[in-house]
Amino acid sequence: MTPIISATNLTVAYGKNQVIHSASFAVLEQDFVCVVGANGSGKSTLIKTILGLIKPKSGKITFGSSITRRSIGFMPQDVMIDANFPATVYEIVLSGTLGSSDSRFFYRKKDKLRAANVLAKLKIANLKNTSFSDLSGGQKQKVLLARALAATSKILILDEPSNNLDRKSRQEFYKTLKKMNADGLTIIMITHDLDAEDLIGNKIISINGGKVSCETTANFLGRYQ
C-alpha cells in the first residue's frame, strides 16, 4: 500500500537545538498512529512539521497523490474560544470548512451540508444551536473534533485530545475515533497515555532523545510493558 504521509531523513531543530534527528517513517491509508514520548521530546514539533508550520532543517515530508496539507483536519491541544463569545456549536463546526474553502467571506452550500453531516455523524446534532460555553468538557471535545472533521474526509491529526477528559468521557471519545478509523479515516494522535487501553491505534511513533521509531502497537507494548 502506498504511504499517504512519508518522512525521509527528517531533521528538525530550533536554532542549534536539534529536536528530531534523521527520522524516516510512513503512514498508510487507514492507519491509526499514536505518537508518544516524554514531555518536550518533540511530539508537537513533529506534527507541526507535517502540517507545514515548521520548516525542517533537512529531509522532507511527502504526501500521497490524494493528500495535501489543506486536506488534513487538525485538532490542536489548546483551542482558544472566548467563553463570552456567543458562538453556537453549528457555527464552530462550520468554521472548520474554511481551510478548504475557495472563499474567505462566504460559506458554500456544500460547506453547510458537510457541517450538518458531521454533527449527525458524531450524534451531536441536538446541540446545533447550543452555545459552546454551555457545554460539558466531553461535549466540547466532540464539537472540536467535529470542527476538525469538517475540514477532511481523509486524514485527521489530534494533539493530546483527551487531556481534559475524565476516564468515562475519554473512553467514549476513543470509541468515536476508532469508529471513524474503521470507516476509512486515517488518524495520527499525540497521546501522553501509555496504558495499553489508551494506545488504541495499530501503530506507534515514539520519540526519545531526538530519535523517532515507528512500529506496530503490539511490538511497542511487547518491549515496554
pLDDT at residue 81 is higher than 70: no
pLDDT at residue 150 is higher than 60: yes
Q: What is the pLDDT of residues 192-224, one digit of tens each?
A: 777 777 788 999 999 999 999 999 999 988 876
pLDDT at residue 54 is higher than 80: yes
Predicted confidence at residue 178, as pLDDT, reads 92
pLDDT at residue 101 is higher than 60: no
Q: Where are the domains of the chain?
A: 1-67+154-225, 79-153
Beta bridge partners of 110: none
pLDDT band at 133 (very low <50, low <70, confident <90, very high): confident
pLDDT band at 137 (very low <50, low <70, confident <90, very high): confident
Predicted confidence at residue 30, as pLDDT, reads 93
Above pLDDT 90, what percent of the chain?
Answer: 48
Q: Which pairs count as long-range contacts for 63-69, CB under 8 Å and 24+ apart, including other chains? A: 63/4, 63/5, 63/6, 64/2, 64/3, 64/4, 64/5, 64/29, 66/4, 66/154, 67/4, 67/5, 67/154, 67/155
Predicted confidence at residue 104, as pLDDT, reads 57
Predicted confidence at residue 78, as pLDDT, reads 65
pLDDT at residue 46 is higher than 70: yes
pLDDT at residue 225 is higher than 70: no
Predicted confidence at residue 80, as pLDDT, reads 61
Among 21-30, 61-70, 144-153, top mean pLDDT goes to 21-30
What SS3 class is residue 217?
A: helix
Tally the C-alpha atoms within 13 A of residue 173's C-alpha that lie toward its C-beta. 24
pLDDT at residue 84 is higher than 70: no
In the CATH hierarchy, which top-level class contains the domain 1-67+154-225? alpha beta
Sheet with 186-190, strands from edge to edge, namely: 72-75, 155-159, 186-190, 32-37, 203-208, 211-216
Average pLDDT, the chain: 87
Average pLDDT estimate for 42-50: 94
